[in-house]
Amino acid sequence: MPLRVDGLPRPGKIVAVHLNYPSRVAQRGRRPAHPSYFLKPTTSLAVSGDVIERPAGTELLAYEGEIALLIGRTARRVTPEQGWAAVSGVTAANDWGVYDLRTVDAGSNLRNKGGDGFTPLGPGVIPARDVDPAALRVRTWVDGRLVQDDTTAELLFPFGLLVADLSQLITLEPGDVILTGTPAGSSVAVPGETVEVEVDVPGGPSSGRLVTHVVEGTVPFAGYGAQPSVDDRQRAQAWGTAPEPVLTDELRTLLGGVAVATLSSQLRGRGYPHATIDGVHPLVPGTRMIGTARTLRFVAHRPDLFQEHGGGYNAQKRAFDSLKPGEVLVIEARGDATAGTVGDILALRAQTLGAAGIVTDGAVRDSTAVAGLGLPTFAAGSHPSVLGRRHVPWETDVGVTCGGAAVVPGDVLIGDDDGVVVVPAHLLDEITRAAVEQEAQDTWVAARIAEGHPVDGLFPPNTAWLERYQASRTQDP
């Protein structure tokens, strides 16, 4: 007889998904293109009403309310459409983890999420046949206070896809469990608190509340192996604090006075000669744009691909619908400006969501109307045709090549009448401050040229002129 946990057969394996809910993606600041997984030992299983120990010497024990899929039949190389049929039921889960142990364990999560009692399930099971997998809700309470509340309506990776993806290489067997990710609201629980998780269909069946009591561990870690360690970054992630934006208010202000040409020069000097998005120009001269990149990729038109990917709530519509304030949507259209890649309706949607701009190496449709919106828009041209003439909307939030420049989500884009430059996030602070300094120096040089000095030796300034420039900066105004 297999061991049982609260009426459930002990699984042969527990597979957990890293990120799946858009709300959690926004909290983490990164959006995966594909699901990624880790394994949890079956000895981590617990039942409703059990206690969980916060290990002695640690401070960041975090809860993650989740929906657990219970595999009811053998699944090997099934399709996403067949994946849900392999699920016998769903229940509540809590994917506990200790951030103090992530220093050498991030990704595998074995020690920080695999401790005894770190995977409580139950108490009840909702039969899969009774529910729509896109209509489930998961909620979490800490001492009666609702802290997580989300639905499966807009998951990055639907349940059937998760089963199918895993089954490509791994045989899923009856009793196996898949933890499907947690929404925003995961945070730290401390000894003395009680955490409850429930999965239900609003107004319909429920798993009941999965109850876990947090207690303080008493056995310290031995002197061997990685010891608990925390820093401010781990604390921010554990408590659920939003990541510090790369494009801070200070840098945005500094960038407001820096030309794209200057930024391009600074990047070229650091080994980035292809940082400009070539061939694009603002619809409205005098436009200034600063924002963080989101991406959308089109592939060349093919009738069968367009039939599969071009209709309905396709990648183009999803990209525009998910924009956030300060983001710039960068569209890879392979430099083909013989069909529109954005029109007035989608541009209006971007504007109402607070987007900072649109960049496409293809064409803009309804260009007069788009220009009239006032949303910074840079394009290779205008064209009256809809995108289906030349393009298939393919995927979002991946690396793209736009106008010959590589752009990944999170890069910072700056645009003016000269075009658009892409600054990698990790270089933004350095490039911005160096560009500000270069602009100050160029302004001083221009003043000397206006006084009648020859260009030779002054532009760029030789040692003597540099010394004069530095001296001028130390003089009292």
Q: Is 471 exposed, middle or buried (0-12, 13-18, 19+ CB in 10 A)?
A: exposed
From 6-10, 22-26, 78-82, 306-310, the region with the lowest mean pLDDT: 6-10
For residue 434, what are its two tokens?
């160096």
Q: Which of 206, 239, 272 is the last residue of a domain?
A: 239
| Same domain (yes/no): 410, 459 | no
Torsion-angle region of residue 449: left (phi > 0), alpha (psi -120 to 50) or beta?
alpha
CATH number for the domain spanning 234: value is 3.90.850.10
| Cα–Cα nearest to 376, from 291, 315, 255 | 291
| Same domain (yes/no): 72, 203 | yes
Does any domain span residue 244?
no
Q: Tell whether the model's pLDDT for residue 244 goes beyond 80.
A: no
Does any domain span residue 31?
yes
Q: Tell whether the model's pLDDT for residue 90 goes beyond 50.
A: yes
Q: What is the mean pLDDT of the chain?
A: 92
| Cα–Cα nearest to 242, from 302, 204, 304, 187 | 187
| Cα–Cα nearest to 283, from 332, 340, 353, 218 | 340
Q: Tell whether the model's pLDDT for residue 446 goes beyond 60.
A: yes
Q: What pLDDT shows up at residue 344?
A: 96
Q: Which of 239, 258, 293 is the last residue of a domain?
A: 239
Q: What pLDDT shows up at residue 240?
A: 83
Under a CB-based contact definition with an 8 Å cutoff, are residues 398 and 296 in contact?
no
| Same domain (yes/no): 412, 451 | no
- Kindly report whether the peptide bond that precedes residue 460 is cis, defined as omega within 30 degrees of 0: yes
Which residues lie below 8 Å from residue 59, measured CB to CB, with a gap of 6+? 100, 188, 230
Under a CB-based contact definition with an 8 Å cutoff, are residues 402 and 359 in contact?
yes
Which residues lie below 8 Å from residue 473, measured CB to CB, with a gap of 6+? 440
Q: Tell whether the model's pLDDT for residue 1 goes beyond 50.
A: no
| Same domain (yes/no): 440, 465 | yes
| Cα–Cα nearest to 115, from 52, 186, 22, 65 | 52
Range of the domain at 322: 249-427
Q: What pLDDT shows up at residue 475?
A: 64
Read off the pLDDT of each residue in 154-174 and give the average, rounded to a whole number.
97
H-run or E-run covering 361: strand 357-364
From 80-89, 96-105, 149-158, 234-243, the region with the lowest mean pLDDT: 234-243
| Same domain (yes/no): 62, 191 | yes
| Same domain (yes/no): 401, 294 | yes
| Same domain (yes/no): 438, 418 | no
pLDDT by residue (tens digit) across 189-221?
A: 999 999 999 999 999 999 999 999 999 999 999
pLDDT by residue (tens digit) across 25-76?
A: 887 777 888 999 999 999 999 999 999 999 999 999 999 999 999 999 999 9
CATH number for the domain spanning 337: value is 3.50.30.40
Q: What per-residue string of b and e applies to 332-346 under the rule 16 or more CB within 10 Å gives b?
A: bbebbbebbbbbbeb
Q: What pLDDT shows up at residue 3?
A: 39
Under a CB-based contact definition with an 8 Å cutoff, are residues 212 and 193 in contact?
no
For the chain, how many structural domains are there in total? 3
| Same domain (yes/no): 411, 443 | no
From 89-93, 118-122, 356-360, 447-451, the region with the lowest mean pLDDT: 447-451
Instruction: For the chain, give the percent of residues with pLDDT over 70.
Output: 96
